[in-house]
Amino acid sequence: MNESILLENYEHMELKGATKVVSATATQIVVETETKNIIINGNNLEVTKLDLENNLVCLIGSVSLVKLGSSNGQKRSFFKRIFK
């Protein structure tokens, strides 16, 4: 599955490849894809379109930070946990 993030004028965002919206508040939205969690921080954030059949999430608001979180469903190996 192709994943992409389109951010226009820091106010409109389109996420392709989304499998789930984990949480959504006015200041943070967390979207899950097959490989990563995407964390969007900002103000007045709002999910405007949720089409999980086509793996698409659209949102509006003042986006200030986009962060890629850890991989989904993949636990870190024993050695990676010990040797951070």
Among 23, 60, 53, CA closest to 38: 23
Q: In this predicted model, what pLDDT tens digit does every residue of 18-54 receive, in sequence order?
A: 999 999 999 999 999 988 999 999 999 999 999 999 9
CA–CA distance, 35 with 1 (Å, rounded to integer): 10
Instruction: Looking at 1-84, list the stretches that DSSP marks H as alpha helix, in order from N- to C-terminal side.
Output: 78-82
Domain coordinates in residue numbering, the chain? 4-82
CATH no. of 4-82: 2.60.40.2000
Does the pLDDT value for residue 7 go beyond 70? yes
- What DSSP element (H or E) covers 20? strand 18-24
CA–CA distance, 16 with 48 (Å, rounded to integer): 14
Confidence label for 66 from pLDDT (cuts 50, 70 and 90):
very high
8-state DSSP, 26: S
